Amino acid sequence: MNLIIDCGNSFVKLAVFEANRIVDKKIVDTENFLKNFQNFIEIYPAIEKGILSSVGNLTKSDVLAVQKACRVLLLDHDTPVPFSNQYATPKTLGIDRIALVSAAVEQYKNKNVLVIDAGTCITYDFVSEDNTYFGGGISPGLQLRYKALNNYTAKLPLLIPEEPMDIVGNSTNAAIHSGVVFGILNEIDGNISIYQGKYRDLTVILTGGDTNFLSKQLKSGIFANSNFLLEGLNSILQFNSHE
């Protein structure tokens, strides 16, 4: 069994994989990580190895506890990955994006793949059919756009994301929902269309926290997978286990 730990700014995702299949997943806050981690380990004593990403968000004692529990790979920019990285500034490439591209090359071999991660930011990552990663794009995510309208204007309210009833917003709230949501949907559909024009037989993956909210409203054909990043981390662990 493999232990996957993905540490964000506020929360940590813990997952257990049996080969390439996810067995269990748990989301905990960083402050209570150690207690939840120890409970998780007790449930799955068959865990042999693990991978830990974004180690900077955990304390040294947290990282040591993980290292004592199993053989753990601390993911960084020098970790071998199953693709050729042609990003011009590889040391600035987010670890999460590295994991997403790893999942793409593992699950969609010899295919052109565009991975769209709809989280705090929306990231677009393209990997070619010969497993070469070139880069992509970064834009503000759903929540970030709502917050920006509230933070940088005097009177616009902070709203909870909501599916617009119509492109024509007949109130300030409705206009904000229309502008933000349709703006993102058209951005995503537009980006997919441009990539499809450049690369044949394009496979498109949508993942991230806003996957469910956005996927049902998009026009383009996509595969929605909220666990894609965890699967990517597992594929990196498997790749390095075979080194």
Catalytic annotation present for 96: yes
Which of 6, 29, 62, 96 does the annotation list as catalytic?
A: 96
Distance CA(29)–CA(11), nearest Å, equals 4
Residues marked active site are found at: 96
